[in-house]
Chains A and B, each alone.
Chain A
Amino acid sequence: EAGVAQSPRYKIIEKRQSVAFWCNPISGHATLYWYQQILGQGPKLLIQFQNNGVVDDSQLPKDRFSAERLKGVDSTLKIQPAKLEDSAVYLCASSLVRTETQYFGPGTRLLVL
């Protein structure tokens, strides 16, 4: 069974530029999550989707971050414009349903200069 796929794996941009990350969850998983992991910390949930609907985006900085999961399968997370403090690993995870174990992708390492 294929795991969670993410791209790109690495991205370097300058502050005020835009960037987008892509995630394809495990086939059949209804719930998709985006996390931000700053160096030395645990992952912090940014947004959670159930199919194509948002369940929780309370910690998403909505002035610069946006995410969508239009067809209820893959998802994109966008940052516009990026700030230095956005440098982190962005992890995507999926689960069969909300109560089940989350499986994580390899992450995208973002460096904002």
Chain B
Amino acid sequence: AQKVTQAQTEISVVEKEDVTLDCVYETRDTTYYLFWYKQPPSGELVFLIRRNSFDEQNEISGRYSWNFQKSTSSFNFTITASQVVDSAVYFCALSERNTGNQFYFGTGTSLTVIP
């Protein structure tokens, strides 16, 4: 079974629109970490955020915000006022303590921001 599901394969938005990338995870562990990474066309995975399972506070960093809801096992990522430079593939990942903190990546969401 897929531990991390990113149902949106591809999204296109016009510049300055807001966009939300969905991430649903599955775990029985009580201690786990959730991550978002950005993969631009250059190929390098860029770390964006890390949350632990005990901290459900939403976080905002500039135009980026994250909504962590344990009740629905979701960790969604919103980009406000999108820009062309936001075009990339975004990966959500889960790390469980019980599996030695192995990373489980979703299949990614390809975001295209149209100027």
Q: Which of A41, A91, A98 contacts B45 (CB 8 A)?
A: A91
- A42-B107 in contact given A48-B102, A55-B100 (Cβ < 8 Å): yes
Q: Once bound together, how far apart are the Cα atoms of A42 and B37, in whole Å?
A: 11
The reply on B64 being an interface residue by CB < 8 A is: no
- Interface size, chain A (Cβ < 8 Å): 23
Stretch in contact with the other chain, from A13-21, A65-73, A79-87, A103-111: A103-111
Set of chain A residues within 8 Å of B95, measured between Cβ atoms: 99
Q: Which of A44, A45, A89, A99 contacts B43 (CB 8 A)?
A: A89
- A45-B102 in contact given A91-B45, A103-B47, A109-B43 (Cβ < 8 Å): yes
Q: Which of A99, A103, A106 contacts B101 (CB 8 A)?
A: A99
Assess whether B44 is in contact with A104, with CB atoms less than 8 Å apart.
yes
Interface centre among B35, B44, B100, B106 (most CB of A within 10 A): B44
Q: Once bound together, how far apart are the Cα atoms of A107 and B35, in whole Å?
A: 19
The reply on B91 being an interface residue by CB < 8 A is: yes
Q: Once bound together, how far apart are the Cα atoms of A62 and B43, in whole Å?
A: 26
The reply on B66 being an interface residue by CB < 8 A is: no
Set of chain B residues within 8 Å of A45, measured between Cβ atoms: 102-103
Q: Once bound together, how far apart are the Cα atoms of A87 and B35, in whole Å?
A: 26
Assess whether B100 is in contact with A56, with CB atoms less than 8 Å apart.
yes
Set of chain B residues within 8 Å of A48, measured between Cβ atoms: 100, 102
Closest to A6 in B: B44
Set of chain A residues within 8 Å of B91, measured between Cβ atoms: 42-43
Q: Once bound together, how far apart are the Cα atoms of A102 and B49, in whole Å?
A: 11
Set of chain A residues within 8 Å of B102, measured between Cβ atoms: 45, 48, 56
Q: Once bound together, how far apart are the Cα atoms of A21 and B52, in whole Å?
A: 33
Q: Once bound together, how far apart are the Cα atoms of A99 and B107, in whole Å?
A: 22
- A42-B108 in contact given A103-B47, A106-B43, A109-B43 (Cβ < 8 Å): yes
Assess whether A107 is in contact with B43, with CB atoms less than 8 Å apart.
yes
Which are the 6 A-B pairs with shortest beta-carbon distances? A42-B105, A104-B45, A106-B44, A98-B101, A107-B43, A101-B50
